[in-house]
Amino acid sequence: MAYLDAASTEPLHPAARDALLAAIDAGWADPARLYGTARRAQMLLERARAEVAELIGARPDEVSFTSSGTQAVHLGVLGTLAGRRRAGNRLVASAVEHSSVLHAGALHERDGGEVEIVGVSRTGRVDAGAFAEAVARPGTALACLQTANHEVGTLQPVEEAARACREAGVPLLVDAAQSAGRLPIPEGWSVLTASAHKWGGPAGVGVLAVRKGVRWRSPLPEDERERRRVPGFENVPAIVAAAAALRARWEEAEAEGRRLSALVDRIRAEVPRLVPDVEVVGDPVLRLPHVVTFSCLYVEGEALLTELDKAGFAVSSGSSCTASTLRPSHVLEAMGVLTHGNVRVSLPRGVSEDDIDRFLAVLPDIVRRIRSSLGVH
């Protein structure tokens, strides 16, 4: 099977596997205790923290490990809103943020807060001017912007947003889940979140970095772990593996990113040539190196995924009938592009060119068959 769903989760990096196996033996004890094995676990944990901090451009004491990227976002959003209560109660976010940001915003609204959503262009890029205006309105406690969109790959104007936030004195939470380990972390964040399994680390490790001087108060009950930011016993072996994967992925990022980006360019050019009535969505240039998304008119997304699976391809879709809810993807909706017949292809490290050739070879006939089953010829 050709795995083309790296944006959902990247397969474990070999460097992470080696580190994980070693740390399961060496780092199992409670890092908060004072005997030898515990000190060893603590040393591994702090070494991983220093490594991740260096790679994301933070100080080690600004970095906490969470149990997922989603938890990092929940704690980042709600904790900063709680810390900034005196400054205001408005959260500003783009319309295409990950659901973890929007769901944290919905909870904030249920608690009496305000949420302002900033729209995006047809390519999914947030309007930096509108974002700056929204941030500058009095009472803004926090702004959130992703580095890159998880469904269509479009990069966001994070540095412009950071400038606007700095001028307005508003902290900016940057969700780097899709780009960490692949692209440099943009400057200017106040709170940064990421997820290890997206860069080839194990599942169950998220990163929450809070810049020194940013007011943050835990929205959860008191707990002493992770500088009082994240409750619960740290998964030291997984954290060690996450740091090893981030280091290894980052060292390969430039060369592998260039290779994957060329394959994405090929898919972007070939799919509309081979399949009639297809729209490739997302920014063609300002994009992640490994993600491409297109929508096929007159095709049900679920049928397309099922047929591609039978042909040996694992891909994902933002179409409503394939999601857990009946709503179409909020990202595609906000962009105003076709929400049905949607396919996201995201290339993992080391994907072979043959797999892409084969994908382009089978796709036209699969789309034709599904269309003809619906009476479209």
Partner 1 sequence: MWRRRTGGDTRRSSGTARAAAQAEPAGPVEPPQQPALTIDALGRKCPIPIIMLAERINQVAMGGVVAVLADDPAAFTDVPAWCRLKSHEHVGSYELPQGGWSIHVRRNY
**Bridge partners, residue 286, by sequence:** none
User: Coil, strand or helix: which one is 129?
Assistant: helix
CA-based nearest residue to 131, from 121, 179, 122: 121
Nearer of residues 235 and 317 to partner 1, judged by Cβ:
317
Nearer of residues 64 and 319 to partner 1, judged by Cβ:
319
Burial per residue of 303-341, b for 16 or more beta-carbon CB atoms within 10 angstroms, e otherwise? bbbebbeebebbbbbbbbebeeeeebbbbbebbebbbbb
Tell me if 34 contacts partner 1 by CB under 8 A: no
Nearer of residues 50 and 280 to partner 1, judged by Cβ:
280
Report yes or no: 172 and 145 within 8 Å, Cβ to Cβ: yes
**In angstroms, what is the minimal distance from the CB of 220 to partner 1?**
24
Nearer of residues 42 and 316 to partner 1, judged by Cβ:
316
Which of the residues 101 through 160 are near partner 1 (CB under 8 A)? 105, 109, 114-117, 119, 134
Residue whose tokens read 């789309």: 367
Report yes or no: 125 and 288 within 8 Å, Cβ to Cβ: no
From residue 245, give the alpha-carbon distance in Å to each of 51, 171, 200, 213, 225: 11, 29, 6, 29, 23
**In angstroms, what is the minimal distance from the CB of 151 to partner 1?**
14
What are the tokens at 63? 């970095």
**In angstroms, what is the minimal distance from the CB of 92 to partner 1?**
8
Amino acid at 184: P
Instruction: Choose, from 144, 165, 296, 321, the residue flagged as catalytic.
Output: 321
Kindly report the number of other CB atoms within 10 A of residue 365's CB atom.
13
CA-based nearest residue to 238, from 202, 288, 270: 202
Nearer of residues 64 and 317 to partner 1, judged by Cβ:
317
**In angstroms, what is the minimal distance from the CB of 147 to partner 1?**
22
Report yes or no: 79 and 219 within 8 Å, Cβ to Cβ: yes
User: With contacts defined by CB under 8 A, how many residues of the chain interact with partner 1?
Assistant: 33
Classify residue 198 by its DSSP letter.
G
Which of the residues 286 through 345 are near partner 1 (CB under 8 A)? 297-300, 319-321, 326-328, 330, 332-333, 336-341
Residue 144 is a catalytic residue: no
**In angstroms, what is the minimal distance from the CB of 132 to partner 1?**
14
Which of the residues 257 through 286 are near partner 1 (CB under 8 A)? 277, 279
**Bridge partners, residue 126, by sequence:** 120
* Angle at CA of residue 316, ends 244 and 200, nearest 5°: 5
Classify residue 340 by its DSSP letter.
S
Report yes or no: 241 and 333 within 8 Å, Cβ to Cβ: no
Nearer of residues 265 and 279 to partner 1, judged by Cβ:
279
Which of the residues 45 through 64 are near partner 1 (CB under 8 A)? none
**In angstroms, what is the minimal distance from the CB of 115 to partner 1?**
4
Report yes or no: 357 and 270 within 8 Å, Cβ to Cβ: no
Which of the residues 338 through 377 are near partner 1 (CB under 8 A)? 338-341, 374-376
Nearer of residues 28 and 298 to partner 1, judged by Cβ:
298
The C-alpha atoms of residue 49 and residue 56 are separated, in whole angstroms, by: 11
Report yes or no: 142 and 321 within 8 Å, Cβ to Cβ: no
**In angstroms, what is the minimal distance from the CB of 335 to partner 1?**
9
Which of the residues 64 through 93 are near partner 1 (CB under 8 A)? 92
Interface with partner 1 (CB under 8 A): 92, 105, 109, 114-117, 119, 134, 277, 279, 297-300, 319-321, 326-328, 330, 332-333, 336-341, 374-376
Which residues have a catalytic role annotated? Answer: 321
